[in-house]
Amino acid sequence: MRARRGIGGTEVLRSTGGWSLVIGYLRDHLVMALVVYLTTALVLSLVSLLLSVGGADVSLILTNVGYALLLTTVVLFVYLGIDLWRWIPFASQAEYLLQQAREPDAFTNLPPGNGRDQETCGELLQRLHDLTAERLNEQREAHRRHLAFMNQWVHSMKTPVTALYLMAQEAADLTRQELRGVLANMEEEAGRISEGLDMVLHMARLEEFAKDYRVNQVDLLASVRQVINSRRREFIRSGVFPAVEDGGDAAGATVDAGDLGDAGDVVGAGHVGGAGHLGGRWMVLTDEKWNAFVLDQLVSNALKYSSHGQPPGEKILFRFRHGDATAQGRQVVLTITDFGPGIPAEDLPRVFEPFFTGENGRRFSGASGIGLWLVRQVVDDLGHGIAIASEPGQGTSVTLTYTSA
């Protein structure tokens, strides 16, 4: 609904409630009228007093008091009439909007104000309209993004669900040995569904991020170890092993996957406990749960693309080092590097955009274009830094920057 534009004085007086605006205007200016009359009376009294002190005849002034008050009344009413004629279009339009407007755009149709008060009111309404429109556009964009994500997520979930359905149908006719392979594949597809559900939950929680995070001292190495152990089957299945490099030492120290956990959590070959000297050095300020989500997404991407390298990557490198001191404190830098196909140079600036999959998304299945966007949102909300570098055919490195605890 569009509001009515400027309304003339005659139309206002004919409209319902028009006279109430006039009465309200006169009531608001009653004090001013009284001040004018009192000022006129005071001036006449002072002039009469001065003339009487000087011995002059004041009868002329006294006999013309009525004319003076009449002239004051005429001037006052002319001023009020002109001011009312200029004031009433804005006031009537504001009154109409207050009673009838149903759309935010209607509040931009106010006529120019008469006086600073009306101008300020108009500017405030315009500012309020702009802020409302901005918030509305943000909500629309968030809703559009949410619908696009849900549509893409449902589409991506069809693949593992269909695969599970087909494998379940074939399982009845398989031997025990064949069944083991099918069960392993079913477990893999179930893992994809679980990842998809986890991503939906995190996207929903992201809207209430301020209520769902708490910054504490977190052992970054321990968080990396937990993520690796949670995906140990995928590491084994992909033929990729994780390696940790302690960049804080002069010579550096590289530790293979077997050094990242207890004997029951070993991924690949190696000895247990060799990474003990790394623990305790990489304490950072972050939210443990949300940071684990970021690490898990990055490790998931690294695993996904490592097997597509030429030749396939054999490891994922986690490099820890201390960064430069900033106003917030000393930094801890974690770089996660895979040796997969890399990202084309033209796609690199857009990898954090929602739903962008690029050339790799077309070449390899399983890309949703939402994981890195979520990672960027969480990292920004936590106050960390993130950067990505890649060389086609050589691999990709994602660097996270934390404030040291």
Cα(21)–Cα(98) distance, integer angstroms: 14
Q: What is the pLDDT of residue 329?
A: 73
| Per-residue pLDDT of the chain in tens (405 residues, 90 and over written 9) | 334 444 444 454 455 456 777 888 888 888 888 998 888 888 888 877 777 777 766 676 667 778 888 888 899 889 888 888 877 777 777 777 777 766 666 666 666 666 677 777 777 777 887 888 888 888 888 788 777 777 777 777 777 788 888 888 777 777 777 777 778 778 777 877 877 777 777 777 776 666 677 889 999 999 999 999 988 888 888 888 899 987 654 334 444 444 444 433 333 333 333 444 455 689 999 999 999 999 999 998 898 888 776 566 688 999 999 887 776 678 999 999 998 888 898 989 998 888 777 777 777 666 667 788 889 989 998 999 999 999 888 899 999 999 998
Q: What is the pLDDT of residue 310?
A: 59
Cα(330)–Cα(324) distance, integer angstroms: 6
Q: What is the pLDDT of residue 247?
A: 67
Kindly report the three-state secondary structure assignment for every residue of the chain: CCCCCCCCHHHHHHCCCHHHHHHHHHHHCHHHHHHHHHHHHHHHHHHHHHHHHCCCCCHHHHHCHHHHHHHHHHHHHHHHHHHHHHHHHHHHHHHHHHHHCCCHHHHHCCCCCCCHHHHHHHHHHHHHHHHHHHHHHHHHHHHHHHHHHHHHHHHHHHHHHHHHHHHHHHHCCCCHHHHHHHHHHHHHHHHHHHHHHHHHHHHHHHCCHHHCCCCEEEEHHHHHHHHHHHCHHHHHHHCCEEEEEECCCCCCCEECHHHCCCHHHCCCCCCCCCCHHHCCCCEEEECHHHHHHHHHHHHHHHHHHHCCCCCCCCEEEEEEEEEEEECCEEEEEEEEEECCCCCCCCCHHHCCCCCCCHHHHHHCCCCCCCHHHHHHHHHHHHCCEEEEEEECCCEEEEEEEEEEC
Domains and CATH numbers, the chain: 9-114 (no CATH), 209-403 (3.30.565.10)
Q: What is the pLDDT of residue 169?
A: 79
Q: What is the pLDDT of residue 23?
A: 83
Q: What is the pLDDT of residue 58?
A: 65
Q: What is the pLDDT of residue 296?
A: 92
pTM score = 0.59
Contact between residue 112 and residue 8 where contact means Cβ atoms under 8 Å apart = no
Contacts of 310 (CB under 8 A, 6+ apart): 341, 393
